[in-house]
Every structure is written in structure tokens, then in C-alpha cells.
Amino acid sequence: MPAYRWATLGCGVIGHELAQAMQALGGNLYSVGNRTHEKALAFAEKYGISKVYDRPEDIFADPDVDIVYISTPHNTHIRYLLPALSAGKHVLCEKSITLNSRELDQARRCAREHGVVLAEAMTLYHMPVYKQLAELIRSGALGPLRFIQMNFGSYKDYDMTNRFFNRSLAGGALLDIGVYALSFVRYFMSCQPDQIASQVRLAPTGVDEQAGILLQNREGEMATISLSLHAKQPKRGMAAFDKGYIEIYDYPRADTATLTYTADGRQQVLQAGSQAKALQYEIVDMENAVAHGGQGMYLDYTKEVMDLMTAIRQQWGLTYPEEEGEVR
């Protein structure tokens, strides 16, 4: 049963998954807030949540709230992160955690100043199969990493008013799905990539519809990433090591990985956890982090991934309304 009192800010798909995960763990959300109050009331009725706030900001003033889950559109995150952290709330925030590195640096400083845990809700960091793969890699059974290949392609209808293509909602492939691919890359690479090459195709609204990204770090480890919002691709991640390679499908919430060994082609299927429990794993890890000084939520990886996305968008000359006029 959850040990802390959670509030959700946002009643979209992820908000519903969070409420269901909390109940599966034997508890319930303590409270709910939303930019549209009527949606918060309907959400509370559905999940038997007793406390509903008139305004999202009222969450942060509630002394009984321990952890806030933010799942509003990602261009709004910073406006809620800073007051939540300043009020002494621990925060688990949907990806992308902020628009850019400058915003994330602000939020990290605020979390340090107030002694609270800040984390991005990046599911792959918390899935059991990734934890088992990390142990296998540390054992040396696969040797050093050589190359990573990532695919993530969704097929979204050409509706330029929806959030995927809407520049005013920080739409585009990189912040919406690229963050998963880059988080996978950072999880397996031994250090941050410091060489970036990329190409982009822009949608009519000016956001990135499709992109190809090449990365390399100082260890010579390389990665290629293919992203699209208008061309379906498998959610496939492949990490090739000296002694074998790992393949993972549906990698954001994967529960299965296939290992193929270089010497003899032998295959091993590693299965751990369940996709259906993805948010349960996040809840448990977040509560453990709150209880034990913030460890285990990969905020350093989140920072490095955000630095990559910021640098890539600078290559493209792609900014959002909130960023225009800023010193980059």
C-alpha cells in the first residue's frame, strides 16, 4: 500500500493510469487537481477520491500532500514544478519534464534548496527487465557496448490543432517520443554523448514531424535514432555489445528482452515484470527515493537527455513560444 499521500495534477490518460496503479497497490490517490475543475470532479467521483481542489495551485498549499504527480502538457510543467517544489512537495513529472535545459536547471536548483525529490516519470528506468539487463551488463557477460539503434514511429493524423503538431503545446516528435529513445540510449551508454548530428522534417506548424539523429560519446559508443509522428515504426531498441546484442520491443514499458550471443548465435529470452504494472513500479521507486534521499530516480540521466534534446533543437532552429526572446 502506498506510504505517502499523492496528489495528481492532470486528469488525462496518465492520470487515470496513476489512479488505477495506486489502487492496484492497495491505496488510492489522496487528492486531484486539474486546469478544468469539472474534469477533476468527474475524475474524483470515478476513483473515490475525497479531495478536489478549486485551482491546481491549491495542491501546493495543502500541508497533507507529500508527492505531486504532474501530467499536464509539458510546456506547462515548469509553471507547476517551481511552486510545488518551493512548497516542499516531492514531484514526479511526466516526460518531457521541461521544455529545455534552462528550465530543468531551475527546477533542480529549487528541489535542492527545499530538500525534496524531483524526478521524471520515465517508465523504462523502473521496469524490472531493465534492472536485470543492467546487472547482466555490469557482470561483463556482454563485453563493452559498441552500437545502439532506436526506432519509434507513431502514425498521427494530420490534425494540426492536436497536441502532437501544435507548436503552442510544444508539439513535435522529439519531446513526445524522442525522449524515450534518448533515455534508452543514455541508460545503456557508459557516458553522455558529446557528438550530435541530425536531420529533421518539419510539419506545417513548424514542429518536428520526423527526425534522424546520430550520437557518439568519448568512449566511441554510437547510436542512431529514427523518429516519426506520421510513419508507423516498431518501438524497437537494439544495443550491440562485443559479445552479443540485446533487442527490446515496446521499449518504454518493456517486460521482455532477447539476447543473441555473438560467438554461437545462441539466444536467451529475459522476461521480468509486466507492462501492465509500469506505473506501479514508478510509484514504488518514487516512494523509496523519498524515503532514502532521492536515489534511484535517474535525475542525472534526465538532465543529460534534456541537454541532448536542447542541443538538437538548437541545430534545427526550433523553439517554442515560451522560449522566444530567451538567451539560449
Q: What pTM does this model have?
A: 0.95
Domain 124-280+305-323 fold: Dihydrodipicolinate Reductase; domain 2 (3.30.360)
CATH superfamily of 6-121: NAD(P)-binding Rossmann-like Domain (3.40.50.720)
Q: How far apart are CA 271 and CA 247, in angstroms?
A: 12
Nearest to 15 by CA among 3, 6, 27, 4: 6
**Beta-bridge mates of residue 212:** 199, 226
Q: Up-side HSE of residue 295: CA atoms within 13 Å toward CB?
A: 2
Q: What is the pLDDT along the chain (328 residues), one digit of tens a residue?
A: 568 999 999 999 999 999 999 999 999 999 999 989 999 999 999 999 999 999 989 999 999 999 999 999 989 999 999 999 999 999 999 999 999 999 999 999 999 999 999 999 999 999 999 999 999 999 999 999 999 999 999 999 999 888 999 999 999 999 999 999 999 999 999 999 999 999 999 999 999 999 999 999 999 999 999 999 999 999 999 999 999 999 999 999 999 999 999 999 999 999 999 999 999 999 999 999 999 988 889 999 999 999 999 999 999 999 999 998 654 3
Return the sign of the alpha-carbon dihedral for residues 106, 110, 112, 116: negative
Q: Name the amino acid, one letter, at 69.
A: Y
Tally of CA atoms within 13 A in the half-sphere of 192 that contains its CB: 12
Q: Where are the domains of the chain?
A: 6-121, 124-280+305-323
Beta bridge partners of 245: 240, 260
DSSP 10: -
List the grid coordinates of 285.
Answer: 521507486
